[in-house]
Amino acid sequence: MNPTKKKLDSAVKIFDDRAYEIVKEFQRSPKKGPTPFESRWGSFKRQAYRLIRNTKSSQGGHKVIKSIVRSEDRIPAYLLYKGNEFHWGLLAIDPHGVVLDAKRLSLISRQLKYADNHDVPAHYLVGFLYQSGASTSTAKKLALGACEPWRPK
């Protein structure tokens, strides 16, 4: 087997294993937590954000995400990988829509992209999103190319 292919297969397996854990944890978690940080959605977003950021920043990480999405035949016809890596990453984490319906997938991917544009560490993600406004407003801010006031342009 080609060493590059073997390395990609290994990285795909690591991603898939972690994605499986994220989805299973979401399913086991109570619907509400005492704080947004501890809620099932807060936990899901934070873990997915961390996994996607780590994967896309690693050498060949884009190949891992694209490979999983293609193998599951979930390629979005309207969105290139570079358009929003988090959309593709969430498709790779939950290719069968167990956790994410199309509307939530679109919304959360834009929230994660907006946070990534601000270089927010994963442990601050939920607080950042909470402080940035309603989930729909962060998606609108992303579309407008807006930045939070504290971020240098």
Number of H helices, E strands in the chain: 7, 0
Q: Sign of the C-alpha dihedral, residues 55, 146, 99, 92?
A: negative
Q: How many residues does the chain have?
A: 153
The pLDDT value recorded for residue 75 is 73
Distances (CA, A) of 118 to 12, 93, 111: 27, 23, 11
pLDDT, tens digit only, all 153 positions of the chain: 566 778 888 999 999 999 999 999 999 988 877 777 788 999 999 999 999 999 999 988 889 998 998 888 877 766 676 778 999 999 999 999 999 999 999 899 999 999 999 999 999 999 998 888 766 677 778 878 888 877 765
Taken in order 61, 129, 93, 123, is the CA torsion positive or negative?
A: positive
Please tell me the predicted confidence (pLDDT) of residue 135. 67
- Contact at 8 Å (CB) between 98 and 53? no
What is the predicted pLDDT for the residue at 100?
95
Q: Each residue of 110-138: b (16+ CB within 10 Å) or e?
A: bbbbbbbeeebebeebbebbeebeebeeb
